[in-house]
Amino acid sequence: MITNLNEQTLDKLRTLRLGGMYQLMKTSVDTDRMTTLTPDEWLHELVQAEWDERQNRSIDMRIRLARFRYRASLEELHYGMDRGLDRGQVERLAACNFIDRAESVVITGSTGSGKSYLASALGYHACSRGYKVIYHHMPKLLSRLKMSKADGSYIKEVARIEKQQLLILDDFGLQPLDAQGRNALMEMVEDRHGKSSLIITSQVPVSGWHDIIGEHTVADAILDRIVHAAHRVELKGESMRKRRATAN
C-alpha cells in the first residue's frame, strides 16, 4: 500500500534520478515486500538496485558509442569442426585479457563465414565488461578519414579512435590501399601499438595482406605490429548466411 510518506519518497527518488531505487521501491510497496526485510537488508537491496541500473546504463552507452554494425552475442556463436572456431579460444578472448595486454586479434575467412559477427560479439562483450570500444567498417572509415582531411576534422577523428581501448576494423582488404589509406592505417596501428587493442577481420588470408597494403616498407611495419603476435582465428566452411537461409 502506497502511503503519503511513500509517495513523497518516490517523488524525491525520481527527482534525484535514482531510477534503480525508484523502481525497486515502487515494486516493493505494491507487493508489501518492504515489510519482509530488515532495515539493513532493505538498504542493501536499494543500493544494489541503483548500482545495477547505473551499470546497465553505462553498458548501453558504451554500446551506442561503439556504433556496431549489428547486434551480436557470444552466446549465439555456432561452433563446429567444419568452422574452425574453437570454443576454448573464444572463451579465452572473452576474458578480455588481450585488451588488458594491448594485443591484436586477426579473424580471417571467406565471405559469410561469420567474421564480422564474431568480432562484433567480442566487442559487445567487451562493452559489458567496461571497456571502451569502437567499430568501423574499414572501407567506410578510410573514406571518412579522407573527407576529414579536407574539412579539417582529421585530428579529431583520429583522436577519438585512439581513446578507445578496443578498435574493430571490419572487412580489411576489400580493395588495395592507396597512399592515404596506407598512411591512415599506419598511424592508427602505430598509435595503438603496445597501448590498446585491435580486432581486424578480412576475407583475404594474411599471406595476401602485404599486396593489399602496397608499399613494401609501410606494409612490413604495419604487419609487424598487427600480425606477428596476434591471436589468429581462421574461419572455414560454407557461408553462415547461406546455412541460415537453407535452414529457414
pLDDT recorded at residue 89: 94
Q: How many CA atoms lie within 13 A of 154 on its CB side?
A: 16
pLDDT tens digits, 53-103: 888 888 999 999 999 988 999 999 988 777 889 999 999 999 999 999 999
The candidate with the shortest Cα–Cα distance to 233, out of 109, 82, 81, is 109
User: At residue 248, does pLDDT exceed 50?
Assistant: no
How does the average pLDDT of the chain come out, rounded? Answer: 88
3-state class (DSSP) for residue 195: coil
* Distance of alpha carbon 231 from alpha carbon 195, whole angstroms: 16
Q: How confident is the model at residue 237 (pLDDT cuts 50, 70, 90)?
A: low
pLDDT tens digits, 181-218: 999 999 999 999 989 999 999 999 999 999 999 888 99
Out of 3.30.470.20, 3.40.50.10490, 3.30.360.10, 3.40.50.300, the CATH code matching 74-247 is 3.40.50.300
* DSSP string computed for 12-48: HHHHTT-HHHHHHHHHHHHHTGGGGS-HHHHHHHHHH
User: At residue 122, does pLDDT exceed 80?
Assistant: yes
> Which range (125-139, 143-157, 204-218, 229-243) has the least confidence?
229-243
Strand partners, 105: 199, 231
Give the domain ranges of the chain.
Answer: 4-66, 74-247
Q: What is the pTM of this model?
A: 0.81
Pairing relation of β-strands 133-137 and 166-170?
parallel
Q: Which one is predicted more confidently, 14 or 35? A: 14
Q: How confident is the model at residue 32 (pLDDT cuts 50, 70, 90)?
A: confident
CB 150 within 8 A of CB 181: no
User: At residue 3, does pLDDT exceed 80?
Assistant: no
The percent of residues above 90 in pLDDT, for the chain, comes to 53
CA separation, residue 60 to residues 42, 52, 55, 128 (Å): 27, 12, 9, 8
| Burial of 22 per CB tally in 10 Å (0-12, 13-18, 19+) | buried
The candidate with the shortest Cα–Cα distance to 18, out of 44, 52, 61, is 52
Q: Which one is predicted more confidently, 2 or 143? A: 143
Which residues, 6+ apart, have CB-to-CB distance to 214 below 8 Å? 176, 177, 178, 182
* Distance of alpha carbon 184 from alpha carbon 164, whole angstroms: 16
* Distance of alpha carbon 146 from alpha carbon 184, whole angstroms: 9
